[in-house]
C-alpha cells in the first residue's frame, strides 16, 4: 500500500526548503515529491495519508559510524584513569568493556542504542561490534535486535589480532559468514534491513598479512571493508616507528585502499594522506563528539570536503542523539579554524543524511524519487519563524530528539507521535539497567 506524507515544510535535496510539500511512498521507496496538491492527486483509493500538519519532513539521519555495544559503558566506574589514546584502549576500553561482552550484553546494549537512535531520527547506521569473546554469533545476536527495531543497518565485527592470531581469524570469519547469510536472504527475494561488511581494527593492532587477508576476503565477497584510521596521533606514530611510513601510505602500498573502503575517524591525517584517500575513492566517516572524548584532535573535515570526499557523520556510540552530533560538526570546526563560515548548516545536514548514505553505500539520505523511504517528520514549532534563509540553522541548532514525531524506515512507520512502535521502550530500558548492573559488578 502506498502512503503520502504531507507537511508544512520539507528539506529538499540541494539544501532547499520547500513549503506545503508532500512525499509519496510506495513499497520501500519514495516515488514522488512535490507540492501537496500535486502529490495528493496521485493517490489511489485505499492509500494511506499521513498529514503531519505544521511539521517538517526530512530525510532520516544516516549514522555512518556506530558501536551499539558501547551503551553499557555509559558512565561505567572504571578503576583506572586512562591517559592518552593508547591508555584509553589498553587500560580501560579493551579490558573493562570489549573483553567482557557476551551475547546477552550485546542484545541489551543494542536494543537501548536502537531506542535512542530511533528517537533522534536515525534511520540507518553502520555498526562495528568489538567483543573478541562474543564470537561466533555476536553479529547474529545484534542483528536479531536491529531487525526487531526496524532500523536499517550495516553490521560488522572488528577483527583484530590484539587477542591473538586465532581470534583475529575468527573475527574475519564472523564477518564473512554474516555477510554471506544476509546476501543469501537477499538472493531469495527477501529485503533484510541488515547487511554485513568486512571490518578490521587498525594498523597497530593488525599485522600486514592479516590486513592483506581481510582485503582479499572483502574483494572475494564484494562486502566492502571498514576500519578505524588515525583516531589520534598514536596510530601514525606507531606506524612510523614500525614501518617508517604513515598508515595511509602503508595501506596504499599493500593495495588495501579503494572505493569499497569506509575509513572512520581520520583525525590525524596529513594533506598528503587526504589526497591519497580521495584518489583511491575511500569513503570517510567523521565523529565530532567522540573525537573530543578521546582527546584525539579535530579532524580536517573542511579539507576533506574541499577535496570532494564522500563523508558522513557518526555518533561512535558515544552521544547518539544525532542533533547533538550535527551541532558538534557545526561548531567544532568553526572554533578550531577561527572561521565562522566553515561547516554551514546546510552542509552539516547534508553530511548527516546524503553524505552518511554515500559513506555507507545506501540509496538513501534524500527526499527524492527512487531513494529508500527512510524519512523523519520533525515538529517545526520553533519559537522564531522558519524561513528559506534560516531553515537549516533552525533545524541544526534549535531542534532536538524530542521534536522528532514520526520515523519511517523503508516505507514502514517505526515511530509514530514520538512513540516507538517496534520495541517496548520501558522494557528495553529496564533490561539495559539490569544488564549494566551485572556488567558493572566488581568495578567500584
Residue (98 or 316) nearer to Zn ion, CB:
316
Residue 88's nearest CA partner among 328, 298, 295 is: 295
Q: Which of residues 187-226 bind Zn ion (CB under 5 A)?
A: none
The rounded radius of gyration (Å) of the Cα atoms in the chain is 21
Residue 87's nearest CA partner among 264, 295, 243 is: 295
Least Å distance, CB 26 to Zn ion, is 36
Report d(CA 314, CA 170) in Å as an integer. Answer: 27
Least Å distance, CB 128 to Zn ion, is 6
Least Å distance, CB 93 to Zn ion, is 10
Count of residues touching Zn ion (by CB under 5 A)? 1
Q: Does 366 bind Zn ion (CB under 5 A)?
A: no
DSSP code for 409: E
Looking up cell 602500498, which residue turns up? Answer: 253
Question: What string marks each residue from 266 to 305 as x (binds Zn ion by CB under 5 A) or -?
Answer: ----------------------------------------
Buried b (16+ CB within 10 A) or exposed e, 46-63: eeeebebeebbbbbbbbb
Least Å distance, CB 400 to Zn ion, is 23
Least Å distance, CB 264 to Zn ion, is 6
Q: Does 316 bind Zn ion (CB under 5 A)?
A: yes
Least Å distance, CB 314 to Zn ion, is 7
Q: Residue 441 has which C-alpha cell?
A: 559488578
Only segment of 44-52, 312-320, 417-425, 436-444 that touches Zn ion (CB under 5 A): 312-320
Residue (23 or 267) nearer to Zn ion, CB:
267
- Strand partners of residue 25: 3, 30
Only segment of 54-62, 234-242, 314-322, 323-331 that touches Zn ion (CB under 5 A): 314-322
CA atoms within a 13 Å half-sphere pointing along the CA-CB vector of 92? 19
Least Å distance, CB 67 to Zn ion, is 6
The vertex-94 CA angle with 210 and 260, nearest 5°, equals: 40
Report d(CA 74, CA 208) in Å as an integer. Answer: 34
Q: What are phi and psi of 54, to 5 degrees?
A: -90, 10
Q: Does 98 bind Zn ion (CB under 5 A)?
A: no
Only segment of 73-81, 106-114, 252-260, 315-323 that touches Zn ion (CB under 5 A): 315-323
Buried b (16+ CB within 10 A) or exposed e, 200-221: bbbbbbbeeebbebbbebbeeb
Residue (88 or 395) nearer to Zn ion, CB:
88
Residue (316 or 403) nearer to Zn ion, CB:
316
Residue of closest CB approach to Zn ion: 316
Least Å distance, CB 288 to Zn ion, is 13
Residue (70 or 410) nearer to Zn ion, CB:
70
Residue (174 or 316) nearer to Zn ion, CB:
316
Least Å distance, CB 316 to Zn ion, is 5
- Strand partners of residue 357: none
Only segment of 78-86, 192-200, 269-277, 308-316 that touches Zn ion (CB under 5 A): 308-316
- Beta-carbon contacts of 129 under 8 Å, excluding residues fewer than 6 positions away, are 67, 68, 69, 106, 138, 139, 142, 155, 156, 157, 158
Which spans of this chain sit near Zn ion (rule: CB under 5 A)?
A: 316
Amino acid at each position: 500500500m502506498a502512503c503520502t506524507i504531507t507537511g508544512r515544510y520539507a528539506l529538499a535535496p540541494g539544501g532547499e526548503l520547500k513549503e506545503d510539500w508532500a512525499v509519496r511512498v510506495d513499497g520501500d521507496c519514495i516515488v514522488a515529491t512535490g507540492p501537496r496538491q500535486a502529490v495528493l492527486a496521485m493517490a489511489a483509493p485505499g492509500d494511506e495519508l499521513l498529514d503531519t500538519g505544521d511539521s517538517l519532513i526530512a530525510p532520516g539521519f544516516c549514522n555512518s559510524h556506530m558501536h551499539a555495544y558501547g551503551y553499557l559503558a555509559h558512565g561505567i566506574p572504571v578503576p583506572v584513569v586512562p591517559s592518552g589514546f593508547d591508555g584509553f584502549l589498553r587500560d580501560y576500553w579493551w579490558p573493562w568493556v570489549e573483553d567482557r561482552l557476551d551475547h546477552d550484553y550485546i542484545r541489551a546494549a543494542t536494543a537501548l542504542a536502537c531506542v535512542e537512535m530511533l528517537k533522534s531520527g536515525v534511520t540507518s547506521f553502520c555498526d562495528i561490534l568489538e567483543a573478541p569473546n562474543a564470537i561466533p554469533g555476536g553479529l547474529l545476536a545484534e542483528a536479531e535486535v536491529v531487525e526487531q527495531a526496524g532500523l536499517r543497518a550495516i553490521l560488522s565485527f572488528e577483527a583484530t589480532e590484539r587477542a591473538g592470531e586465532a581470534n583475529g581469524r575468527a573475527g574475519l570469519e564472523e564477518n564473512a559468514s554474516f555477510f554471506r547469510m544476509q546476501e543469501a536472504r537477499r538472493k531469495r527475494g527477501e529485503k533484510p534491513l541488515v547487511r554485513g561488511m568486512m571490518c578490521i581494527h587498525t594498523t597497530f593492532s593488525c599485522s600486514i598479512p592479516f590486513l592483506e587477508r581481510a582485503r582479499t576476503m572483502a574483494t572475494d565477497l564484494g562486502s566492502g571493508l571498514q576500519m578505524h584510521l588515525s583516531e589520534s596521533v598514536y596510530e601514525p606514530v606507531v606506524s612510523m616507528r614500525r614501518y617508517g611510513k604513515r598508515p595511509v601510505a602503508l595501506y596504499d602500498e599493500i593495495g588495501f585502499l579503494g572505493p569499497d573502503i569506509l575509513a572512520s575517524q581520520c583525525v590525524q591525517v596529513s594533506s598528503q594522506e587526504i589526497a591519497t584517500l580521495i584518489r583511491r575513492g575511500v569513503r570517510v566517516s567523521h565523529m565530532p563528539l567522540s573525537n573530543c572524548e578521546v582527546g584525539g584532535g579535530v579532524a580536517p573535515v573542511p579539507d576533506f570536503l574541499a577535496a570532494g570526499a564522500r563523508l558522513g557523520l557518526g555518533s561512535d556510540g558515544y552521544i547518539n542523539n544525532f542533533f547533538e552530533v550535527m551541532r558538534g560538526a557545526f561548531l567544532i570546526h568553526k572554533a578550531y579554524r577561527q572561521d565562522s563560515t566553515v561547516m554551514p548548516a546546510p552542509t552539516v545536514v547534508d553530511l548527516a543524511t546524503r553524505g552518511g548514505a554515500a559513506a555507507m553505500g545506501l540509496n538513501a539520505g534524500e527526499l527524492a524519487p527512487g531513494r529508500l523511504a527512510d524519512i523523519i517528520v520533525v515538529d517545526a514549532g520553533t519559537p522564531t519563524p522558519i524561513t528559506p534563509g534560516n531553515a537549516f540553522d533552525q533545524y541544526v541548532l534549535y531542534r532536538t530528539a524530542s521534536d522528532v514525531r514520526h520515523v519511517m524506515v523503508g516505507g514502514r512507520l517505526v515511530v509514530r507521535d514520538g512513540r516507538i512502535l517496534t520495541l517496548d521502550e520501558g522494557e528495553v530500558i529496564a533490561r539495559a539497567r539490569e544488564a549494566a548492573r551485572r556488567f558493572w559488578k566488581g568495578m567500584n
